Amino acid sequence: QQQVKQSPQSLIVQKGGISIINCAYENTAFDYFPWYQQFPGKGPALLIAIRPDVSEKKEGRFTISFNKSAKQFSLHIMDSQPGDSATYFCAASRASNDYKLSFGAGTTVTVRA
Amino acid sequence: KAGVTQTPRYLIKTRGQQVTLSCSPISGHRSVSWYQQTPGQGLQFLFEYFSETQRNKGNFPGRFSGRQFSNSRSEMNVSTLELGDSALYLCASSRVEGDTQYFGPGTRLTVL
């Protein structure tokens, strides 16, 4: 079964708006939560990652919020640009053991100019 | 520093054939993982290699196998191809196990 649930499946946002993607997990042993961005015909590229000892991490226009008690984490894309149009995947792993990434189903983001 | 490279980029095979895909990790990276990406199942973990040893395996049949060489390069093999094996096969490398994984562009396999 899918260990990481991601929503929404797709979203459309206007240029300059905020895109929000949510993920939930069940396995409390997960201790590493990366987000990947994938453009058509390319492999996933690491965007930003967080570990459960912090509740928020920001890199440029991208912010991860992490809620350990709710077992949820989310990606916020501020001031969305047309170049942000891509598919975004959340993932989780036990970085201290096992190491394999369990991915969410992906969210296709379209930014309208 | 060059990224992860995968060859070939595209491959067309027929049912029953076998295929070998190759992955060259980022220089200095010793861990290589393989993932299958399909529209229906998304990204699924196949296996992970470190120091020429398979360290972890996903829920795929034995037709899927792999290996890693002393220079950290890796190959995966799929025997007796089925239509459902059509997918994008992605290789990811990391410096050591548990470190950030960096993905290659993938090999697009089409089985006819």
A-facing residues of B in 13-72 (CB < 8 A) are: 31, 33, 35, 42-45, 48, 55-56, 58
Q: What pLDDT, in 10s, does the model give residues B26-38?
A: 999 999 999 999 9
Specify the higher pLDDT residue, B21 or B40. B21
The pLDDT assigned to A64 comes to 95
The pLDDT assigned to B33 comes to 96
The pLDDT assigned to A2 comes to 74
Does A97 have pLDDT greater than 90? no
The pLDDT assigned to A42 comes to 92
A43 interface with B at CB cutoff 8 Å: yes
**CB-based contact A46 B45, cutoff 8 Å:** no
Rounded to whole angstroms, the Cα distance separating A68 from B13 reads 45
Q: What pLDDT, in 10s, does the model give residues A7-54?
A: 999 999 999 999 999 999 999 999 999 999 999 989 999 999 999 899
Q: What pLDDT, in 10s, does the model give residues B62-107?
A: 999 999 999 999 999 999 999 999 999 999 999 988 888 999 999 9
The pLDDT assigned to B99 comes to 85
The pLDDT assigned to A1 comes to 63
The pLDDT assigned to B84 comes to 97
Specify the higher pLDDT residue, B18 or A98. B18
The pLDDT assigned to B36 comes to 98
- B16: alpha, beta or left? (left if phi > 0; alpha if psi -120 to 50): left
Backbone dihedral angles phi then psi of residue A30, each to the nearest 5 degrees: -65, 135
